Amino acid sequence: MQPPDNGNDTDEDSGSEDSGGNMDNLTGRQLRAGAVATIISSDHSKTVIGDVESDESETETSKAISSQSALGTNTTGDQQIEQEQPQRRKGKRVSTSAVTRETKVKKQLSSTPEPDGAADSRVATGVAGKNEAVCSLSKETLVHKTSLNWNKKDLKPDESRISKSTKPIFPNQDTTPTSLFEYFFNDNIVDLIVTMSRRYAHQKLQPNFTITAENFRAFIAILLLLGYVPLPRRRMYWEQSTDVHNEAVAGALSLNRFEEILRYLHLADNTELDPNDKIAKIRPLFDHLNKQYLKYWPVEADLDIDESMVPYYGHHSSKQFIRGKPIRFGFKI
């Protein structure tokens, strides 16, 4: 899997391309660039994986350490530190894990008093420790350089993760669209919206504003109808011209009544909003619908999740901008 060659191509599920500083917004050049990873083992030794010297250079370094241990030669502290410095050539780094582990073995052996005739045993132990460190380093490097093979096949469903809840009854019944809608937009949420709208009108010094559950249901029906019978302007539905007049809209609510409900429509009390909640004004409806969706959800084993943008050009911290999309400004759902 490689990033697209065309720099203008973007993933459909990507975030805002203008935010920057995010792993989701790296360019193709950055994604293809080389990288160096430093692995810290449990014994605090470091292994550098990536843009390092060739294996041949590491082998030569290991051979030099092995011959020095076998001969039992002692070097001064300055010479030892110089040998342990990472080798640098042409801006590349060599892993010093084997050297570090060998140094620890030497220090541990040199600090422990040894009996007479144990020199050969010490040399053999040092060589064994060095070989073990080199083998361990090779195994760590091999694990992190293993490539993945992609297979095109169907995945078997995990029966343990499939919900065992009972499916609702209404999908198997011959129900009307209105009855299905009222499973989710029931009387509880309607009464809440009516109460919050009245309270907001009173806060705006409009004590004569009234709204009933029947008025609000007619208001919602008109909003749904406006979605699939679009006109250039909302007021055209109440005009007397035969080409735009809609009898269903005009017969449900008058234009003045519709605009009055739209002006004072509220879902929450403005005096009790949570300042840390970005959607505090619609939180009651949001939580209610999520609860109803889980209650009446026809449980299935496989789900397909997609996203959409709701156009919005006002000021809100949740609004997003995605360049090159059909809807550039709005809320991503």
Q: Does the residue 15 lie in any domain?
A: no
Asked if 178 and 87 sit in the same domain, the reply is no
pLDDT at 296: 82
Q: Is 46 helix (H, G, I), strand (E, B) or coil?
A: strand
**Residue 235 backbone zone (phi > 0: left; psi -120 to 50: alpha; other: beta):** alpha
Q: How many domains does the chain have?
A: 3
Q: Does the residue 7 lie in any domain?
A: no
pTM: 0.49
Q: Is 52 helix (H, G, I), strand (E, B) or coil?
A: strand
Asked if 117 and 220 sit in the same domain, the reply is no
Structure tokens at 167: 């499916």
Q: How far apart are CA 51 and CA 88, in angstroms?
A: 12
Candidate from 66-80, 256-270, 285-299 with smallest mean pLDDT: 66-80
With a pLDDT cut of 70, the percent of the chain lying above it is 59
Which of the given ranges, 6-20, 146-160, 317-331, has the highest pLDDT on average?
317-331
* Residue in 243, 241, 246, 271 with CA at minimum distance from that of residue 258: 246
Q: Are the CB atoms for 266 and 281 separated by under 8 Å?
A: yes
With a pLDDT cut of 90, the percent of the chain lying above it is 33
Whether the pLDDT of residue 211 is over 70: the answer is yes
Whether the pLDDT of residue 38 is over 70: the answer is yes
pLDDT category at 194 given cuts 50, 70, 90 is: very high
Q: Are the CB atoms for 237 and 230 separated by under 8 Å?
A: no
Greater model confidence, 166 or 155 = 155
Tell me how far the alpha carbon of residue 40 is from its chain's centroid: 27
pLDDT at 330: 94
Element spanning 332, H or E? strand 329-332
The predicted-structure confidence for 67-107, as pLDDT tens digits, reads as follows 554 444 444 444 444 444 444 444 445 445 555 555 655 55
pLDDT at 74: 47
Element spanning 93, H or E? strand 92-93
Asked if 272 and 317 sit in the same domain, the reply is no
Greater model confidence, 233 or 98 = 233
Element spanning 80, H or E? helix 77-84
Greater model confidence, 9 or 328 = 328
pLDDT category at 2 given cuts 50, 70, 90 is: low
Q: How far apart are CA 55 and CA 167, in angstroms?
A: 61
Greater model confidence, 255 or 39 = 255
What is the pLDDT averaged over residues 15-40?
A: 68
Asked if 224 and 107 sit in the same domain, the reply is no
Whether the pLDDT of residue 146 is over 90: the answer is no
Output b/e per residue, 43-70; b: 16+ Cβ within 10 A. Answer: eebebbbeebbeeeebeebbeebbebbe
pLDDT category at 54 given cuts 50, 70, 90 is: very low
Asked if 118 and 99 sit in the same domain, the reply is yes
Q: Does the residue 195 lie in any domain?
A: yes
Q: Does the residue 154 lie in any domain?
A: no
pLDDT category at 133 given cuts 50, 70, 90 is: low
pLDDT at 327: 92
Asked if 97 and 187 sit in the same domain, the reply is no
* Domain encompassing residue 282: 170-299
Structure tokens at 92: 């590349």
pLDDT category at 298 given cuts 50, 70, 90 is: confident
* Residue in 61, 37, 38, 46 with CA at minimum distance from that of residue 100: 46
Asked if 188 and 259 sit in the same domain, the reply is yes
pLDDT at 89: 47
Asked if 294 and 313 sit in the same domain, the reply is no
Asked if 276 and 225 sit in the same domain, the reply is yes
Asked if 192 and 311 sit in the same domain, the reply is no
Greater model confidence, 4 or 111 = 4
